[in-house]
Amino acid sequence: MIIHNPYKDDFRHTPEVDGKGKFKDKFYYDGEFYSLSCSKKEKGLYAVVCFLFIAAVITVICLQGMLNSPSSRTVWVVLPYFIQFLTAGYFILGLIDYVLLKMSSESKSLRMSRPEFDGSIARMKHSMIGQIVVAALVIICDVVFIVKNRNIEGISREFVFLGLGVVIIAIAMGFGLFYNKKFSKVVLEK
């Protein structure tokens, strides 16, 4: 049983009799719809830009891992580092859902039900916010490691690691600006 289902009142069903006299339930969506006014070409362009943002984030995360800094042998630095991959994967799931959304043929807008909106555009937004939080946590853990181990060899790689963490935050903030410019046009239909 689902304790908190935000979509519980969004779906309705009506019993119907088919040609053989058997009852069948016909389910339909009766909840809120979201609309984003864009053409098919713009939707594809938005998807490509979102892909470039997440590709840049994953590239920088991999560069952080390839540094082999001294803190990479410390579990409380490595664990948040690996969580960055989870938030990136969550973004990719949202991007896939966004790409698979169908455009309505008669209008120039992308019409989404609330579960579709939450699974695509909102998921990308929340995962990038999570990426900022986790990257900040990685930076904080690495700063604590640097302060704790000031005299360790290879400390310069730690500063490069920190710089790459700042780059991840900057890329995520760039996505936030893109989101505010393009996806803030989403309108809730009543």
For residues 176-184, average pLDDT: 94
Entry pTM: 0.85
Whether residue 148 is contained in a domain is answered as yes
Residue 134: per-residue pLDDT: 97
Whether residue 178 is contained in a domain is answered as yes
* Partners of residue 29 on adjacent β-strands: 11
**Distance (Å, rounded) from C-alpha 27 to C-alpha 113?**
14
Whether residue 18 is contained in a domain is answered as no
Residue 50: per-residue pLDDT: 97
pLDDT range class, residue 111, cuts 50, 70, 90: confident
Residue 71: per-residue pLDDT: 85
Whether residue 23 is contained in a domain is answered as no
Whether residue 25 is contained in a domain is answered as no
pLDDT range class, residue 26, cuts 50, 70, 90: confident
- Does 141 have pLDDT greater than 60? yes
Whether residue 100 is contained in a domain is answered as yes
pLDDT range class, residue 190, cuts 50, 70, 90: low
Higher-confidence residue: 11 or 82? 82
Percentage of the residues of the chain whose pLDDT score is greater than 90: 56
Residue 155: per-residue pLDDT: 85
- Determine how β-strand 23-29 pairs with β-strand 11-17: antiparallel
| Overall domain count for the chain | 1
- Does 31 have pLDDT greater than 90? no
- Does 4 have pLDDT greater than 80? no
Q: CB 41: neighbour CB atoms within 10 A? A: 8
Range of the domain at 60: 33-189
Nearest residue to 157 via CA among 66, 85, 58 = 66
Residue 11: per-residue pLDDT: 67
Whether residue 122 is contained in a domain is answered as yes
For residues 2-7, average pLDDT: 70
CATH of the domain at 67: 1.20.140
